[in-house]
Every structure is written in structure tokens, then in C-alpha cells.
A and B are shown apart, each in its own frame.
Chain A
Amino acid sequence: MSGLNLYERLEIDPGASDDEVRRAYKRLTQLFSPSGVVCYGLYRAEEIKALLEDFKAAYETLVDPERRRRYDQQLYPQGHPSARAAEAVKRGPPRPALPADPLSLLDLPQDAVIDGPVLAMVRQLCQVPLAEIAERTKISMFTLRCIEEPRYADLPAPVYLRGFLKQIATLLHLDGDRVVREYMHGVERWQKARKKARW
């Protein structure tokens, strides 16, 4: 282990995202668990313990942006070799950091509720393309469009929708609870209206 850098220890690319770091750590702790099959007949109990501590140390450094930056600088004094870093350069300059409270910039009336169009406006204001949200949250583009339009009839079941809204809110620096509460309120109103129309 001593010869491996932290990325090699976690078996990931030096350009791995936070999510990939997390998944790699989870995978390795499960694989090398003392009760698992992989170590059985090969590692002693104390060796497994040392290995797991190594994983943990590597994980804790790599998920912390500041510590990871310092570690990268020390590991790659000539600059980051990752292909992803090169790709990011190709993509152009990074967009400005998201505002802390994007809602305040929108000039909304005092009693405005957050619904699909408001979410879309916040997203455009923050210059986040829909595809990026889809990539980072793994929510399909179709569902994201339905949420923004909003096309209530095509939305997923409320239990999923709440989770999706929370993820979108986190990405856009919005208050997740408020987004869920106000958006779901709109959904319920639509459902009631539809029932009435049927009768």
C-alpha cells in the first residue's frame, strides 16, 4: 500500500468526481469488509483493519475539496494529468459561482410561490444547462422538462418527485424544503382541479 497514491488506493482516476470518490470508497469498504469473501484466506484481521483505515484516510482527503486541492498540488507539482481536467479546459472558462440566494435576484413579488417556471428562471439565471442537472442528478431530461414547464400530468409519483425537487434545489442553492412544499402544493391544486373537471 505504501507505494500507492490516494487515487490508486481507491482505484479511481485522478480526475474522479466527488461522487465517484464516494462510490469507490463504499465499494472498497464493502469488498474488503472483514466478514466479506474477498479477504477470506488471504488477509489477516489486522491487515484488513489497516487496509480499511487506509481507505478511510484516502477518502477523507479526497472528498474534502480543500485537502484534495492541496494533495493534488503536492502529488502533481506540474499540474493535474487528468483527462477530465483537459476536457474542462476545452469546455472554456468556468461559469461564475452560483449566487448564495438566487431567488433574491429574480425580482419576484413578495407572495410568489416556487413552481416550475420559477425553477427554470433560477436555473437560467445561474447559467446551469438542463443537461448538467440531468448529468449530476441522474434525473431524465424528460422529467426535468416536465417539472419546469410544468406538465403535471407527466410528472412522476409524488414520492419520487419530492426527492427530485430536493436534488434540483440543492444544485441551485435553493431551500429544498420550501421548494418541495410550494411545488407540491401546486401539484395538489392541479390534482383537485382535475378531479372536479372529471365529475
Chain B
Amino acid sequence: MGEREDYQADDTLDLEVPSAPPPDASGDFGSLNEPSFIGEIPWHEARRGPMVIALAGGKGGAGRSLLAANVGLFLASLGREVIVADLDPAGANLHTYLGVEPLLLSFGALLRGGTRPQLERISGMSLWLCRAPRPLTASPVDPLREETLEMALNSEADIVILDMGAQHDDLTLDQFLSADLGVLVTLPDSAAVERAYAFLRTALYRRILHGSDEPAVIARALLNADHVNQLETPTALIEALSGVHPNAASAIRARLMAFTPKILMNRCRARADRELEAGMISALRRLWGINAEGLGGGDHDDIAHESTRKRRPVMLAYPGSTLGGEVERLSRRLLALLNAGVERA
């Protein structure tokens, strides 16, 4: 009997996504009437390998890197094999939050460029930095960033945390959409909330209207013909679409329902700040019909400043602080959501 219990316990702890897709994967959308082409979009494929948490969007300085670093440390302390990858092309500073020395590049190194990500190990957690010298080009495609991402996604880790940065480029959007948890970190102020909506708008467009598959093409054609901007919201679009092409309409609706970004309102100071998360989710549901989910805002703590200034990670130097508690709570919530996702699959 003991044997059997052990076996079950192991089973629930196993974080890997089952390698074979469940036999009736298409039945997921049964209530939404078929669509067969839904399986064609790449981010819907049953993925093998590590679970992915992508922190993206919002505004610079919202706290993505600090949270990525410390959530990574906490999950590693629970015994998970964790990789935290810094994929922020602009403000790649994850190493600072973990006390890793900065990279001082010579002009010669800048000229020659580099191709390998830097791999570090801190308190049982892997830190992957793509901060080797980049070739001096203005190309929007960053081979080093792509390679680091590719390596992380194909690694043996249990959990990969991607710190994507605040910009809206294709790589960031695709990771936000395909990750097990796409987390948008924002702040309780107008500028950050506006940026968050802007990011979600772009991500939603990419999720439901981008690509060369039939529903997306039909929907875009309809939008192109809409010269008076009547089809302002996804709901209006789907309604119009269902008159012309019911299959495409239900495919788009299924994608809309599958778009469940997680929102984290960071650094709350007042009660009104904490209510903003629920407010944003309500506003998004009413206007776009999407089901965003709140992670339960984090409180402001001056220890973040102290930790960054002294380059000592919160979870190692100040684990008993308010912020340490917030990180722990957030980590457990993320873990619960990841496990729930596995059970659903």
C-alpha cells in the first residue's frame, strides 16, 4: 500500500507536460462548435519540456526582473530545477538583482560580437543571461536572444522563467502567448495601466487575428472592409463574422476564450491600488470579452530599493521582509496555476 501511495505522490509532483496529447484534445472546444483549424496555430501545440512563465509588457521599472529573480530563487528553494532567463533586449539587468557582476565590454568586443549566452548558478537556480556583446547592427532580430530562448525551452529544467522586458516585439508577444503563464506586471498608475492595455491589445490582436490561417484571414478582410470602425471590439467582430462565416467566428471565439493573461499589480500602497487589478480585469472582460486573471497585487516595500542598491537578492538577504512574503505568496500561486494547467491538459 505504501508503494502505491509513493507512486501517486510522485505523479502529482511531476511537472512535465504529458508527452502525448490527450486523445480528445479537440473536445476542449466542444461547446464552442468544432473548429478543426484551431490546432494549426503554433502556440496551441501540446509542448514538451519545462513549464514556462513569461513576464512581459507593461512599463519599464514595473518590477518584472526583481520578481523573476526572486520567484526563481524561491521555486529553486522548493527543490524545482529553475532557469531564469534574461531576455529583455533593452534593460537587461536581471544579474544586478542577483548580485552577479556586470559585464564590461571593450570596443573591440562590441565590434566582434558574441554568440553565447552566459550561464550562472545562484543558490540552486540557473541564471541565463544573453548579454554577450551583440554585433553592431540595427536588426530587430537578435540571434543571441533567440538562441538563449531556444536553449531554455529545450532544457531539462522543471520551470523556465522568462524576463521578456516591456517592449512589444514578436518574440515577446509569442512567448507571452505560448507560455503556460503569461504574466503582465504593471503598476497602479495611469501610465503603467495604459501601457498594460496597449500590450494586451497587441497581444490579443496577435492571438486572434495574426497569421495566414483561414479564420484570421477572413476576420482581417472583414476588419479591412469596416471603414466606419464599427467592429471596435472582438465581440462585435465575432458577431459580424458569425453572419458571414460561422466557422471562422467560432474559431476566433475559441481563441478569445483561450486568451487568459495573468495580471499582477505590483507595488500597491493603498487599498484603491489593490482594487485596480480586479478593476482592470472587469474592464477587459466587459470591453473585449476576455478572461484575464489577477495574481493578487503585491505591496510596496522599500526593501526592493535596498536590495537593488546593495545588489543582494531579496530572498537571500531579506527573506523575512514584506517583499519576501509577497514573493513567496506569488510563487506559490504561480505553482498552483501551473499544476492546475497540467491537470487540465
Contact = CB atoms under 8 A, between A and B. Distances in A.
Interface of A: 1, 4, 11, 27-28, 31-32, 36-43, 47, 51
B222 interface: no
11 contacts: A4-B286, A31-B282, A32-B283, A37-B188, A37-B193, A38-B276, A38-B282, A41-B190, A42-B197, A42-B287, A43-B287
B279 A31 contact: yes
Given A37-B189, A40-B193, A41-B193, A31 B275 contact: yes
B231 interface: no
B284 interface: yes
Interface string B55-79: 0000000000000000000000000
B194 interface: yes
Contacts of B188: 37
Q: Indicate the size class of the contact surface on chain B.
A: 10 to 19
A194 B311 CA distance: 65
Given A37-B188, A38-B276, A11 B282 contact: yes
B190 A42 contact: no
A25 to B, nearest CB: 14
Q: Which residue, B195, B275, B279, has most C-beta atoms of chain A within 10 A?
A: B279
Given A37-B276, A42-B197, 14 more contacts: A4-B286, A36-B279, A37-B193, A38-B193, A38-B280, A38-B283, A39-B283, A40-B193, A40-B194, A40-B197, A41-B194, A41-B198, A42-B287, A51-B286
B128 to A, nearest CB: 33
A31 to B, nearest CB: 4
A59 to B, nearest CB: 16
A4 B286 CA distance: 9
A4 B282 CA distance: 13
A40 B279 contact: no
A82 to B, nearest CB: 21
A50 to B, nearest CB: 11
Interface in B271-305: 275-276, 279-280, 282-284, 286-287
